[in-house]
Chain A
């Protein structure tokens, strides 16, 4: 394999790995902050135990999110130096701002939160977990500003002499219409991920009914809270996703065509339930489509033309040069889209049912649902991962849409051997660490709120900071 292919594998591996941890960090930090705020407002010890217990799981996950983020930052320069030279003027700024505005806030106040339980007034301590949650989500915003430029370049001029793009309008960059749909989607999928994590672990405990009444009450309340949180998250994620799809038809029609396996333009266009394509010949072999539904997805009405791959290829050849292939890997884009959307609607159903049971008088959840929910922890991970695969793969062959091809972005002086060596090194470390991470998460999740917190329960409820 060439250095380019290996560098792509390394980038894919690192981003996917990083994004295993990030959404949970985004969503769970807010939920822990909410729990602790409830404690601050009501003085009920159960909320303190909640913040501590879910907070501990949050920390185990957080550690891996941080360290893999550093790898990403370094990787642009290491494997994609031509990209960095071409894009630094635009891409570097949000990255630096992310560190300055978000990472400092997040990491500083995380230290304060971990070590400040007994040392700080309750209000300041509660504010510190909010600072962590806000920092984490601000960081998502800035990295998506950077990514959005790759999807939809705005506010720039191409300096041919220097062979780079230069920023002309910072405000355009941060109000890029792509980031305005992408950030809410990532933000709400974080909420959904956090909610399903709490729902799944709570369900596991409720099913076993071990521990005292206090313990059961703890998980019942956690379940209820996460159900509310989860339904908000998943409804919004689907709504925003719909807007995002419409935006995609407008700005990256080729990605949509690939995601739908739509080879020829249609009006009205049908939404593919399943398409078997001859991906080599770029033609459809067999397909079941819901008539008009793709037009609806695109335009909110049941007619309107959605362009197919062949027409778009012809258009792009006119615009960007003949004889090049402007079609992304169709099968991967197509199936990733389906995996994401499928997992999404499954989550909508499960979150709805969870909320229904939690809202009943007794708050007792049906056994079968308790059995299902621990497995459902995996659903947001499937949706998050394939969502990103579709976003990034569907943009190919471009690394920056319309401006730079991925093959032109790779470091010219880094050999295949070097990339292969580090790819092996990172893979070994990633795989070992994810094993340890899952082991620790499972260990502490099973243990339940620990005995240390018994003191917290015994604490007189009247003590305030």
Chain B
């Protein structure tokens, strides 16, 4: 395995970490206006991700930084090509980030409701657009011989990428609802459970649609035949297990299965993407690959050493914070920060 392959795996890991962690906190943000009836309930809901959301977002920042360092061409093509979509994500994230800090700083219902909607849009827009972006990366976009994206914003919108976007949102919302059931008590917990039960079937339906769309769009049938292999099948199985556990109100298990589903789905994704990192719809010879997009061996070596030392350390202290804040968030105003 070459160093650029290793970095392809590491970046996949960073994105998986990002979608898994920020996935539930986007979901929580999207559900906020609907699950929280009173101000205290809303603060309780935000409190479930309070100590974590900022660090979760760093997974995205690190994935972006690692992409820049290990695959500068991937970074340059993707970020300049998906320009307006990324600008929208940025604006959404700016509002979302400050909303958490600002919302409780004034005791005024209108002020708070405005920031709650900022959290909602700040969560739903990135969730949708990251899904669209990942759909485009694998389906292919117009990229020329000099690795530049030659299309426009509307080339990124197609029935397929709308499905990948919606599937992203659907999965995150369910993930968030299950997370809330584990982190709260009282009315909010009950409501989140009901939501998860109501939504689990539609979410599975959207994912099934995505599976069909993948077959139709990505030439998977000609490539791999009717049997997609162990990992995709396991993905489907674990998603069905989520449905089973949600239905039986065993939410810890549902969360574990949800985590597994997301990991497996993304492993499948990166598996099928490899050795490309961005597919060109203009000419497959123009597709960016792990080799053509990567940094020099020396840089990758330096980065590998740094990553091998620090990724485990980060995992340990982040894991520790989930242990420290393992108690459920109660609807007790005095204990709420946000």
Contact = CB atoms under 8 A, between A and B. Distances in A.
A, B co-complexed:
yes
Interface residues of A, number: 71
B80 interface: yes
A115 B336 CA distance: 9
Contact of B76 (A77, A109, A437): A77
A114 B51 contact: yes
A96 B325 contact: no
Contacts, number: 218
A116 interface: yes
Interface in B290-338: 295-296, 298-299, 302-303, 306-307, 310-311, 314, 317-318, 321, 324-325, 337
Interface stretch (B82-90, B163-171, B205-213): B82-90
A111 interface: yes
B314 A100 contact: yes
Contacts of B150: 413
B68 interface: yes
B95 A429 contact: yes
A99 interface: yes
A81 interface: yes
Contact of B65 (A63, A73, A110, A114): A73
A99 B58 contact: yes
B87 A78 contact: yes
Of the four ranges (under 10, 10 to 19, 20 to 34, 35 or more), the interface on chain B belongs to 35 or more
Interface of A is mostly: helix
Nearest to B51: A111
B50 A81 contact: no
Interface in A95-121: 95-101, 103-105, 107-112, 114-116, 119-120
B321 A77 contact: no
Contacts of A66: 54, 97
A170 B79 CA distance: 26
A417 B55 CA distance: 34
Contacts of B57: 70, 107
Nearest to A14: B90
B90 A70 contact: yes
A74 interface: yes
Interface stretch (A26-34, A83-91, A386-394): A83-91
A13 interface: no
Interface string A59-86: 1101110111111011011110110110
A120 B57 CA distance: 24
B201 interface: no
Contacts of A68: 94
Given A99-B62, A100-B62, A166 B83 contact: no
Contact of B97 (A63, A413, A414, A437): A63
Contact of B296 (A79, A82, A89, A433): A89
B89 to A, nearest CB: 8
B65 A85 contact: no
A164 B61 CA distance: 24
A152 B150 CA distance: 34
B23 interface: no
A100 B11 CA distance: 13
Contacts of B221: none
B78 A88 contact: no
B121 interface: no
A426 interface: yes
13 contacts: A66-B54, A67-B97, A92-B70, A92-B75, A93-B302, A96-B68, A100-B310, A107-B58, A108-B314, A111-B54, A164-B72, A170-B302, A413-B80
Interface of B: 50-52, 54-55, 57-58, 60-62, 64-73, 75-81, 83-84, 86-87, 90-91, 93-95, 97-98, 100-102, 105-106, 147-150, 295-296, 298-299, 302-303, 306-307, 310-311, 314, 317-318, 321, 324-325, 337
Given A166-B295, A418-B83, A422-B84, 17 more contacts: A63-B101, A70-B60, A73-B64, A77-B75, A84-B76, A85-B76, A88-B295, A92-B69, A105-B317, A111-B55, A115-B50, A116-B51, A411-B76, A413-B149, A422-B83, A425-B87, A426-B91
